[in-house]
Amino acid sequence: MSTTATTVSTQVEPIFNTKPRGLWGTALRRLFHRRSAIIGMIILGSLIFIAIFAPMLATHDPNQALIGLEDVKKREGPCIQLLGCAADQPQHFFGTDGNVRDLYSRVLYGARLSLMVGILSVGFAIVIGAFIGAVSAYAGGYTDNLLMGLMDIMLAFPSLILAIAIVTVLGPGLLNTLLAIGIVSIPVYARIMRSSVLAIKQQDYVLAGQSIGSSSNRILLQNILPNALTPLVVQGTLGIAVAILDAAALSFLGLGAQPPTPEWGSMIGQERNQVFTAPHLIIFPGIALILTVLGFNLLGDGLRDALDVRQRS
Amino acid sequence: MLAYILRRVVLAIPVLVGVLFLTFLLSRLIPGDPCRAMLGEKATPAVCDAFMERTGLNKPIPVQFAIYFGRVMSGDLGDSLRFGRPVTEMLMERLPVTIELAVLSLLVATTVGVILGVVAAYWQNSPIDAGTMVFANLGVSVPIFVLGLLAAYLFAVVLKDTPFSLPPSGRLQAGIIVKSIPEVWGMDDLGGPLRGLLDFLSQMYVINGILTLNWQVASDAGRHLILPVIVLATVPMSVIARMTRSSLLEVMNLDYMRTARAKGLNERRVVFGHAMRNALLPVVTIVGLSLGGLLSGAVLTETIFGLTGVGRTIFDAITSRDYAVIQGFTLIIAFTYVFINLLVDLSYAVLDPRIRLS
C-alpha cells in the first residue's frame, strides 16, 4: 500500500511551475510592468543624479551674484546660444533672478534640498509614528486610548496650518520646517502601523511563534515588523510628495528655507510679485517642484498596486 | 440612528478639548517672555507685572488653561495686537471670505471630479481615461502657489485684452461699492443674531450681490473668484476624480451589475442607479477630508490673490507676530475641521446602514 502511495505522489504534476518569489520580488516585477511607475522612477532617478552631481552640472555658483562679473541684468530671461541667443551674450539656461544669480544653477542645487527635506521629514515621521503605533497596538488599553487620542487631536488640524503653528513656535528655518512637517506627519504612520500590527497579531504565524517560545521582541521584530512595513513604505513614498509640497509652501510663505538658500519654494516666494514681468522665475523652479512631486506620486501609486496582496497572481 | 449621532458627538468632545489645549500650549511655547512678545516696546517691568496679573500668566499652567478655556467658551479669543480689535470681530469679517471661496471650490471640485472619474471609469483604458488620469496625476502634484501664480500670469497678462482675461487679485473692481444686506433691506436698526447672520452673509460678496439684487457686485465678485476657485479646486478635484474612477471600477465588476444588465436595464440606470450609489461612499469621505486641504490651501490661495480671508490673516499674523490672532484663527479652523469630519461620519452612516448598526 505504502509503495503505491509513494509512486502516485511522485507522479503528481507540480501545481506551480514557476519558482516562488517573495513579496518584494513579486512587487518589483509588477512595478516594472507599470508604465506610470517606470516614469516615476525615471524622474526620481534623474533628480537623484542631478542632486548628487549638481556641482558638475551647474554652470555658476548658485549663490554668486553676477553683477560686475558678467554683462547681465537682473531678472533677465533665458539665453541659450543653441536656441538663437547671441553668441556674445553670457549664456544662462533659465535666465537670472532678482539678485542676478544664475537660475539654472540654483534650480539644480534646489533638488538636493527638496529631496533631503522630503526624505528626512518622512523618515523621522515613520520612525516615531511606527513606534507609537506599534506600542499602541501591542499595549492596548489606556496606553492605546491615550496615544491614539493624541494622534486624533493632531489630525484635527489641517496639516499645513499645524506646520505653520509649529514653525511659529520653533522659529523659521529649513531645519525647523523639516521638524514641523515631520511632526505633522506622525499620526498618519502611527495609525497605519497600529492597524497593521493589530491585524498581524491575529495571524496564525504569530501564534506559532509564541507557541514555540519565541520572545516578544523576536516576534515583534521578525514576524510583525516586516509584514507591517508594506503599507508604511507605500504611504511613506506618497508622504514624501506631500512633505515636499508642504516644505515648499512654508518656504514660499517665508517660514522655511531662508535666502539665499536655493530652495524652490523660497525662490518662488521671493519673486512672486515679479510673475507678471519675469514669469521664468516662477516657471522653472515650479516645473522642478511639479516633476519631483509627480515622481514620488507615480512611484507611490505604483508601489501600492504592486504590493497589493489581493492583486498578486 | 440617534444613538449613533450621540455617540459620535460625545467622541468629538475630547478631541475639541485637546485641540484647545494644543493651541493653548503653542502660544505658551513661543520663545521669550509673553509680555514682551505681546506688548513689544511698551513692555516696561511695571506694565509687564500688570499685564501678567491681568492675563493670569503668573498663575500655574493648569489654572491658566482653565482661564483660557473659560474665555474661549464665552466667545473671547483675545485682542489682536496689531489692529487692537477683538479677534472674534476679525473672524466675523474674514471667515465669510474663506467660506465662500472654500465652498465654491469644493462644489467645483466635486462636480468636475465626479464627472471626470465616471467618464474615465466607463471608458476604462481608452485615451479619454489615460488623459483624465494624466491630468489628475498632474493635479495632485502641482503646488497651489505655482498654479496660482501661473494662472494669474496667464489670465491677466497673456490673455489680456481678450474675453478670457480675468483679474489676478482683489475681490472687486475699484469703484464698486458694496452695501451690507441689512442696509439695503432697510433693516438698519435690526439687532441680535439675525443681524449677525446678515452681516456675516454681507461679507460674501456673491451672495450679497444676489440677495440685494445688485448684479454688478455679484458678477464682478464672481469674476474675481474664478481664478482662486480653480486654483484651490484643482487638488481636491484630482483626488476626487481618481477616487471616483477606482471605486466605480471596483463596483462595475460585481455580480449585481451583471444582474442589472442581464435583466435589461439601460446603461444609464445601471451606471447612475446601481453603480454610483455604492461607488460614491468612499467619494463622500474624500470630499469631507478635502476640506482640511482646502483650508491649508486657502492660506496660499488668499495670499496670492490678495483676498483677506482666514488664511491670509493667519499669514499676516505670523509675519507680524500677532499671537492672539494666530491662536484664535488656528483654533477656529481646527474646530471647523472637527465639525466637518463629524458631518462626514454622520453622512456616511446615512448612506450606509451597516455603519450605524455596527
Closest chain A residue by Cα to residue B339: A156
CB contact under 8 A, A164 and B333: no
- Residues of chain A with a CB closer than 8 angstroms to some CB in chain B: 36, 149-150, 152-154, 156-161, 164-166, 168-169, 171, 241, 245, 248-249, 252-255, 265, 268-269, 272, 275-276, 279, 282-283, 286, 289-290, 293-294, 297-298, 301
Contact in structure between B348 and B288 (CB atoms under 8 Å):
no
| pLDDT, averaged in runs of 10, over chain B (358 residues) | 82 87 80 68 78 76 85 85 85 91 93 93 90 92 94 91 85 84 83 84 89 89 93 94 90 86 86 81 80 85 91 82 82 86 80 68
Secondary structure of residue B86 in the 3-state scheme:
strand
Closest chain A residue by Cα to residue B334: A157
Contact in structure between A256 and A174 (CB atoms under 8 Å):
yes
How far apart CA B227 and CA B208 sit, in angstroms, is 20
Where would I find the H helices in B30-143? 34-39, 45-55, 61-73, 87-122, 127-141
- Quote the pLDDT of residue A313: 36
CA R_g for chain A: 26
Q: What is the 3-state secondary structure (H, E, C) of B231-246?
A: HHHHHHHHHHHHHHHH
Q: Looking at beta carbons, which residues of chain A come within 8 Å of B29?
A: 169
Q: Looking at beta carbons, which residues of chain A come within 8 Å of B15?
A: 149, 152-153, 156
Contact in structure between A261 and A140 (CB atoms under 8 Å):
no
Closest chain B residue by Cα to residue A288: B142
Secondary structure of residue A96 in the 3-state scheme:
strand
Interface A-B, measured as beta-carbon pairs within 8 A, has a size of 134
CB contact under 8 A, B19 and A157: yes
Q: Output the nine-digit C-alpha cell for A50.
A: 542631478
Tell me the Ramachandran region of residue B229: left when phi exceeds 0, alpha when psi lies from -120 to 50, beta otherwise: alpha
How far apart CA B87 and CA B317 sit, in angstroms, is 11
- Cα A244 from chain centroid (whole Å): 7
Angle, CA of A180, B342 and B19, to the nearest 5°: 35
Single-letter amino acid code for the residue at B304: I
Q: Looking at beta carbons, which residues of chain A come within 8 Å of B138?
A: 290, 294
**Shortest Cα distance from A44 to chain B (angstroms)?**
14
CB contact under 8 A, A253 and B303: yes
How far apart CA B61 and CA B67 sit, in angstroms, is 10
**Shortest Cα distance from B2 to chain A (angstroms)?**
24
313 residues of chain A, pLDDT tens digit each: 444 444 555 566 666 566 666 777 777 888 888 888 899 999 999 999 999 999 999 888 888 888 878 878 888 888 888 888 887 888 888 988 888 899 999 999 999 999 999 999 999 999 999 999 988 988 888 999 899 989 988 988 888 888 988 888 888 899 999 999 999 999 999 999 998 888 888 888 888 888 888 887 788 777 787 778 888 888 999 999 999 999 999 999 888 888 889 999 999 999 988 888 999 999 999 999 999 999 999 999 888 888 765 544 3
Q: Which residue has the cell 519558482?
A: A19
Of B243, B241, B290, B141, nearest to A240 (Cα)?
Answer: B141
How far apart CA A264 and CA A257 sit, in angstroms, is 9
CB contact under 8 A, B26 and A268: no
* Optimal mutation site among B149, B313, B321, interface A, most CBs of chain A within 10 A: B149
How far apart CA A116 and CA A24 sit, in angstroms, is 25
How far apart CA B246 and CA B257 sit, in angstroms, is 16
Q: Looking at beta carbons, which residues of chain A come within 8 Å of B157?
A: 276, 279
- Identify any residues that bridge with B86 across adjacent strands, giving them in sequence order: B79
pLDDT in tens, A120-174: 999 999 999 999 998 898 888 899 989 998 998 898 888 888 898 888 888 889 9
Closest chain A residue by Cα to residue B299: A161
How far apart CA B138 and CA B141 sit, in angstroms, is 5
Spell out the residues 6+ positions from residue A138 whose beta carbon is closer than 8 angstroms to its own: A197, A201, A220
How far apart CA B69 and CA B73 sit, in angstroms, is 6
Secondary structure of residue A276 in the 3-state scheme:
coil
- Cα B197 from chain centroid (whole Å): 18
Q: Looking at beta carbons, which residues of chain B come within 8 Å of A238?
A: none
Where would I find the H helices in A171-224? 174-201, 204-211, 216-218
Tell me the Ramachandran region of residue B180: left when phi exceeds 0, alpha when psi lies from -120 to 50, beta otherwise: beta
Q: Which residue has the cell 520580488?
A: A25
Q: Which residue has the cell 507609537?
A: A132
Orientation angle between helical segments A103-139 and A280-307, nearest 10 degrees: 30
How far apart CA A272 and CA B168 sit, in angstroms, is 13
**Shortest Cα distance from B315 to chain A (angstroms)?**
8
**Shortest Cα distance from A89 to chain B (angstroms)?**
27
- pTM over 0.90? The answer is no
**Shortest Cα distance from A194 to chain B (angstroms)?**
19
CB contact under 8 A, B141 and A290: yes
Q: Looking at beta carbons, which residues of chain B come within 8 Å of A169?
A: 26, 29-31
